[in-house]
Amino acid sequence: MSPNLVLVGFMGCGKSSVGRLAAQIAARRFVDTDDLVVQAEGRGIPEIFATDGEETFRNAESRVLENLRGNHDLIVSTGGGAILRPDNRAALRALGVVCWLDADPDVLFERAARSGRRPLLQTDDPRGAFDALRLAREALYAETADFRLDTTGLGRDAAARSLLDEAANHRKRFDG
Ligand code: S3P
């Protein structure tokens, strides 16, 4: 039985794609908290933001994190803002080894903006919004994570393998 491996980081850092591949390699189950919110609410994230606002989304996100308690051996990808609430940060650290998946800001922005489905970037100045969010959140990712993995220049496969190697070095917190 292994502690879960939890991925935090900014939109576009590859939490879902790298996490999914790492789960395949390590034969572990992958869950994405954004998907769990969508399932629980029965509607998409842009619709939740547009109809009921960010707070409603954040409440659903907190419930999903709380409900994951007691699981093990999972690889868990989280939404970029999952680290905003102190209770969420504690829940994430209790869930397992936490990795902050990071990359060069230009790379992050290019990936995050590409999908066009992220409500927080639907403004007149998406790059300004992105930079402001990143600055406000960096310390929270650092505080929550056991380690940071910079994936700039790494392909998905190399990133997934580094992630699994590094995570194995950080499971001491859960041993004994
Ligand atoms: C958010 C990031 C999104 C999603 C929601 C809010 C954020 O997830 O949870 O749109 O606050 O950064 P990704 O990080 O998977 O894009």
pLDDT tens string 127-145: 999 999 999 999 999 999 9
Find all residues with CB under 8 Å of 160, minimum gap 6, and list them.
18, 19, 21, 22, 25
Ligand 1 atom 4: residue of nearest CA: 79
Ligand 1 atom 3: residue of nearest CA: 79
Q: Which ligand 1 atom lies nearest to the CA of residue 13?
A: 14
CA gap 89, 120 in Å, rounded: 21
Give the residue carrying structure tokens 């001491």.
172
Task: Provide the pLDDT confidence category of residue 1 given band limits of 50, 70 and 90.
Answer: confident
* Segment 26-40 mean pLDDT: 98
User: How far, in Å, is the centroid of ligand 1 from the Cα of 174?
Assistant: 28
Q: Which ligand 1 atom lies nearest to the CA of residue 32?
A: 15
> Tokens in use for 170?
């950080």
Ligand 1 atom 8: residue of nearest CA: 79
Q: Which ligand 1 atom lies nearest to the CA of residue 137?
A: 12
> Tokens in use for 124?
């007149």
User: How far, in Å, is the centroid of ligand 1 from the Cα of 132?
Assistant: 14
Task: Provide the pLDDT confidence category of residue 42 given band limits of 50, 70 and 90.
Answer: very high
> Tokens in use for 22?
């790492």
* Segment 109-116 mean pLDDT: 86
Q: Where are the beta strands (DSSP E) in the chain?
A: 4-8, 29-32, 74-77, 96-102, 147-150
- The preferred substitution site among 11, 30, 58 for testing ligand 1, maximizing ligand atoms within 8 Å of CB, is 11
Residue 84: strand, helix, or coil: coil
Of 44, 51, 47, 99, nearest in space to 77 by CA: 99
Q: Which ligand 1 atom lies nearest to the CA of residue 10?
A: 14
Name the DSSP class of 83.
Answer: T
Q: Where are the beta strands (DSSP E) in 59-146?
A: 74-77, 96-102
Is 53's pLDDT higher than 80?
yes
99 pairs with which residues across the strands?
7, 147
Name the DSSP class of 171.
Answer: G
Ligand 1 — pocket residues by CB below 6 A? 11, 15, 34, 45, 79-81, 118-120
User: How far, in Å, is the centroid of ligand 1 from the Cα of 11?
Assistant: 6
